[in-house]
Chains A and B, each alone.
Chain A
Amino acid sequence: MVEAVLKPGGDAATALYIVAFSLFIIGIKQGTHPTTAKRGNLIAAVGMAIAVVTTLLLDGIGNWGLIVAGLAIGSAVGVVASIRVQMTSMPQMVALYNGVGGGAVALIAWSEIRHGIALGEEIPLDTLIPILFSAVVGSVSFWGSNIAFAKLQDLIPTRPLAVPGQQVVNALLLIGIVVACVILATDNSSPSQGLFIAVLVAAALLGNLVVLPIGGADMPVVISLLNAFTGLAAAAAGFALDNVALIVAGTLVGSSGTILTLEMATAMNRSVANILFAGFGGAPAGGGAADGEERPHTAIGAQDAAIKLAYADTVTIVPGYGLAVAQAQHAIKEVADELEKRGVTVNYAIHPVAGRMPGHMNVLLAEADVPYEQLKEMEEINPEMPRTDVAVVVGANDVTNPAAKNDPDSPIAGMPIIEVSEAQQVIVIKRSLSPGFAGIDNDLFYEPNTSMLFADAKAAAGEIAAEIQNL
């Protein structure tokens, strides 16, 4: 079908790979700056195209029917999924893509070791060890990402699922995996495929068990960490296959992904170890609320809310994931427009992890044409809070919980929050008093200057905008 022209590991192929990974580096570099990010992504994609075409031209590439089918199916799924996915579902989409990447690594490792066994010769350790590493990490990443996806998609409960003796089971699994890998490596003339499959399964189990107990609020950090893991697994596959493009690209993702993970964890004031091994404590009710008891709160309607807002001088909107779920960004923008017509200063306070990933909320608000300069970061807006007349919390919860500041025993103690309780008045638009992603009660709802507007965010915003017009 296509004449193989390049020798694997030869100068021409390597030169093309160098072009490809240089483009990855430039792409990532440009991806760190708002004005160049889109171009950076395109540059990286071009690098990927070069890497794929180069590989297809390598000597020894065969089974073209399957290759074409695989590429066609994968492209079709990727294109359709990316076009159909809602902006609000981006985080779980990334989790899913990361998962299939990890799955691919694990499968390649399996195929490699089968090939090695079939050859009947001793598999050199500098091939076998990377194979084992990529099999374990790929499998953990695949299953961990799927669990992360299922949690974000609400297919399984987002609350931390605690299993007794969890850490012990995980530790035993990990030890078992390492021991099995050592046995496989010492028997490198004829490693047992059965034992290898057992390793894959144990790693799958470990991926499930590590991510299941982690609360939904920490999921972005987990996805980012698994992203870095998949990168390292890809690099290991590169060692096994003597493929420089895999080594460089995988390592780049591994190290840059690690940095991103640390930055995200810092934004939530959580250490990565803490997230992985502690989960959010088992007690669902924080802030000293007795279970099941309803605490006193003030409920208001859209008209009252409209009056409070229309006669304020400064209004700060604190959007959260609930806004995204309700697709309320456009309706909220309408409210802001009405207020601005009346001379009210409107700002948006964006928590670093508002939505379900850092930067997620900015994307959603940009989609609704909210001017960039009205988006204030947490550090910028918090000192302004005492001078804010009305803070409107739309579908945000944990990121506004004063318990993070006031209650050292709270599971989210120390997490940076938007200090809305400092504002003169607070309106919380939310469907109920139910706890947020972290699974804990929010003290803000019961403060004397807080009014609760129980409604769907989009419907409520629409009503408020109409009421303001009528004033």
Chain B
Amino acid sequence: MSLITEITIFVLAAFVGFEVISKVPATLHTPLMSQTNAIHGIVMLGGLIVIGYADDGLEYVIGTIAIVFGTINIVGGFMVTDRMLGMFSKKPKPKAEADGKGGT
């Protein structure tokens, strides 16, 4: 892929990222940050690629740690986001309205 093609993709993806995120309710900021955090775990693919041409002990170690780190990022990221969002999907049953005014 030529550099200019890659830059084209980069710029377009940057605009997609800006557009897609606008107008997020504050409630979803943390889960959304967590989800995008999981998505950059995609660097793990880089670990898979570089370990393919690792050829000494240090590179094996570096590559393996990179894969471990990247996998933690992906698996942990998506799971933790799912747990957070699970809190919202549990629909609380509508509470019975308080009957009139009590107290004083």
Contact = CB atoms under 8 A, between A and B. Distances in A.
Q: Contact size class for A?
A: 35 or more
Contact of A223 (B33, B46, B59, B98): B33
Interface string A372-391: 10000100000000000000
B32 A100 contact: no
Contacts of A58: 49
A74 B48 CA distance: 13
Interface string A37-64: 1101110110010011001101011110
B69 A48 contact: no
Contacts of B20: 25, 28-29, 32, 252, 256
Given A100-B72, A104-B47, A252 B94 contact: no
Contacts of A90: 30, 34, 80, 84
B36 to A, nearest CB: 5
Contact of A253 (B3, B40, B87, B88): B40
Given A34-B28, A77-B76, A371-B92, A251 B10 contact: yes
Contacts of B32: 28, 31-32, 37, 256, 260
B36 A77 contact: no
B30 A360 contact: yes
A61 B50 CA distance: 8
Interface of B: 1, 3, 6, 9-10, 13-18, 20-55, 58-60, 62-90, 92, 94-95, 98-104
5 pairs of A and B residues whose beta carbons are closest in the complex: A74-B71, A255-B17, A343-B102, A70-B67, A78-B75
Given A234-B46, A359-B26, 5 more contacts: A94-B30, A100-B73, A241-B49, A257-B33, A357-B30
14 contacts: A28-B39, A41-B85, A61-B49, A77-B68, A104-B44, A235-B10, A241-B49, A256-B18, A256-B20, A259-B18, A267-B26, A343-B103, A344-B98, A370-B92
Interface of A: 8-9, 21, 24-25, 27-29, 31-34, 37-38, 40-42, 44-45, 48, 51-52, 55-56, 58, 60-63, 66-67, 69-71, 73-75, 77-79, 81-83, 85, 87, 90-91, 93-94, 97-98, 100-101, 103-105, 107-108, 110-112, 114-115, 118, 126, 220, 223-224, 227, 230-231, 233-235, 237-239, 241-260, 263-264, 267, 310-313, 340-345, 352, 357-360, 362-364, 366-367, 369-372, 377
